[in-house]
Structure 1
Amino acid sequence: MSSGAKRFPASLKAATSPQRELLMPQRHLHQATVDAARLARPNGKTTGTGLDSGAVRQRMVARLRAEGKFDERVLAAMAAAPRHEFVDSALAAQAYEDTALPIGHGQTISKPSVVAHMLGLLMAGAGARRHGSLGRVLEIGTGCGYQAAVLALLARQVTSIERLQGLHDKAKLNLQRVALPRAPRLVWGDGRVGHAASGPFDSIVAAAGGEDIPHAWMEQLAPGGRLVAPTAAAGRGQVLVVLDHVVEGGVGRWVRSEHEAVLFVPLKSGVV
């Protein structure tokens, strides 16, 4: 998939933070598969306290909390979302390590630390601060459904789009096993066009990176809303971009800031 880069409105402002360590949320699929095979236990099951006790999940969150840079509300949601339900049973023993794991269809689940970071950026938006939640959320790239589950604990409504039907179907099955206050709406479709029927959205987050931020996402971002997406940046490769829809005096504008260098899978059009 190739796409011509779109220009931001003239009123778009950019603020760039110093580049930090490259975040590789998903890793190359081959390396994730090799590591998973090396670390998986022979029977794919856990011992000791077990995954269902929540103790292993709490230890993962405690490690993230010790870093002192993640939103406590996001950590609380991650403490409640059973990540092992979203990976293959043979890899369940690794579900609460800070690592990416293969989920099939040539894709991987993002590292917990990267999920925490991106959702923390969303929670720091003006709309989330005002409403106390992420409001109505659009997620681009459902994957196995894990981040959609975390989002469901932070938002009033979640719409999640996946272009790969195999992953869309897998996410539906995964989410049916998890008790959530409200079920995310899963859509098999082209994420680049968003989902206007469910919008406008207070928050938009993407798990795939393109050369640009699709204009459809900007149109569907509500005033006061925030968007977080991996996007190409001149001279920096792919970085996390935060886009705020600011309204002052009845006039809307977009404020863009660039954060860490990242390496996400490409954002593609169409469905498969």
Structure 2
Amino acid sequence: MMNKIPDITLNDGLTLPVVGLGTYALNGNAGANAVQNAIHAGYRLIDSAYNYENEGTVGEAVRRSYVPREELRITSKLPGRYQNYDKAVTTIQESLYRASLDYYDLYLIHWPNPRQDQYVEAWQALIDAKKWGLVRSIGVCNFLPEHIERLEKETGVKPSVNQIELHPFFNQEQQRKWHQANNIVTESWSPLARANNLLQNDTIQQIAQRHNKSISQIILRWHFQLGAISIPKSASPVRQLENISIFDFSLDETEMSLISGLTHPDGRINNQDPAVYEEF
């Protein structure tokens, strides 16, 4: 039975499903099988990146699938070492060649790399790639408000999406509010916090028992009710199906508050602060 995932509309008119598949470490034939299975289970948003070295894997899954390309939303990301304008243009082209795709639906700058200070010219490359039809929508990952404000000030173009670390241990409340006020969609990477103690959390366990749902389903429903797109990764067909089976129940305000209250200032998984972190 096909699972229908609701869509959200970006500020440029493109629609994205509210739950997608993360593909970090899904590589080779096993990875292609996992992504293909997810597509057949109902996933339509597939998140990749140049630095995951699996754009080819994702492209192969798209070709194996019986789902028409136009129904899918495929994402990739520009790595930090190629933020120079000319290198960025070449890398976007290379991303498409790797996947054997004619276009990406969403292309993101993976990190701002503020010390390198080339993210504005990288953004100009994405703007031009969109004009040329290589990508349909452009956004960023891990950008702070000041980074995004500079992009808009210097190019006149605002990102459609900011993909950030977001999970109950790091709920990003202020950043999410800023996104909402500026009509930018929040997308959550590591929405389950890579299972770092989160799947054993007593508070969430109690809520899960109340709803007769798994802990992962409760967390992903929390993301959905926050208004964020989540991209949980799983190669397991059972888990993949479980992760998109979150639209037949809802969390009340108390439950949402309890989960949001698990956040703490040092909640980042790997202490990757976008103000200083530099991606290769």
Which bracket does the TM-score occupy, shorter chain normalised? 0.3 to 0.5
Please give the TM-score of this superposition, normalised by the length of structure 2. Answer: 0.31
Higher strand share: 1
Q: TM-score, normalised by structure 1?
A: 0.32
